[in-house]
Structure 1
C-alpha cells in the first residue's frame, strides 16, 4: 500500500536564478515601499523560499528623492550614528538626510527590515538605489515591479 509522503524542498543557491526588478519610488510611502523591497530581497515571494539560503532577487529603486513619508516624520524621525569616541554622537533628521542623500534613506529603511546577519548583509548588496530616473542596469533587463 503506497504511503502519501510530502517532502520539504530546500532551495540551493546554485539552483536559483536571481531576477532583476525595477521600482519607481515616486510618490510611494517609504515604509510600505521598504517592506515590499525587503520581501523581494529575501526571496519570500517565491514558493521555493528557504530561510537559510539566499533565494532573493535584485531590486533597483529609481526616483528615491521623491519618496513620501506620512505624518510628521520629516522633522521627528532622527537618524543617529556614534563614532565610538567620547562626544561622538551624530544626529540628523529625515528631512536633512533626504535632502543630502536620498538614496541612504531608502537603503536604511530596507536594511531595518532585513535580518542583521551575514545573510542580511549579502541581501542588502542586491539593492541598488538611485535618486533620479536613470540607472546603469539596463543590460540585466529588469522587470517593472508594482508596489
Structure 2
C-alpha cells in the first residue's frame, strides 16, 4: 500500500466561517491555523497547501486570559534610532482588532514560504459583516 500524497491541482478548498466572539485567542488561533493547513482533512499532506479559506468574524470580541490584555506588548520598529513603539493588546484591539488574530495565527503556522501562501487564505473582520457571502462559507464551531 502506497502513502497518499495530495497534489496542488487536486485539492478542494472550501470556505469556512469562524465566530471569534468570547473565544480565547490562543485556542482560536490553533483551530484556525489547523483549518488553514488542512489538518482536519484526510488528504492532509505537510508539504502541500490542502487547507480551506477561513473567514473570522467578531475579532474585536476575543478574550485573553490573565492580565495579558495589559501586559502583553506588540513591538513595532521604524528602522530609525529610537524608533521602537510598544502597544498593548488592549490598544491594538481598539486600533486594529484584525491584527491581533492574524498575528496569533501566523505564529501557529510553520515558518516557510508555504505558510505565507496559507496566510493569504485568512480573512479577519472586526464585526459581524463580511463581503464573502457569495462563497457560501460553512460555519465551524471552535
Question: Secondary structure of the residue that 1:81 maps to in structure 2?
Answer: strand
Q: 2:43 aligns with which of 35, 44, 48?
A: 48
Query: Does 2:106 match 1:100?
Result: no
Give the TM-score normalised by the residue count of structure 1: 0.94
Unaligned runs of 5+ in 1: 1-5
Q: Which residue of 1 aligns with 2:24?
A: 29
Question: Secondary structure of the residue that 2:92 maps to in structure 1?
Answer: helix
Q: Which residue of 1 aligns with 2:106?
A: 111
Q: How many residues align?
A: 142
RMSD: 0.8
C-alpha displacement of 1:93: 0.5
Q: Which residue of 2 aligns with 1:90?
A: 85
Unaligned runs of 5+ in 2: none
Question: Larger radius of gyration, structure 1 or 2?
Answer: 1
Deviations 1:89-136 (CA, angstroms, capped at 9, x unpaired): 221111100111101110101011011211110001100000000111
C-alpha displacement of 1:47: 1.2
What stretches of structure 1 move > 2 A for 4+ residues in a row? none
Give the TM-score normalised by the residue count of structure 2: 0.97
Q: Which residue of 2 aligns with 1:3?
A: none
Query: Does 2:130 match 1:146?
Result: no
Q: Which residue of 2 aligns with 1:74?
A: 69
Query: Does 2:4 match 1:12?
Result: no
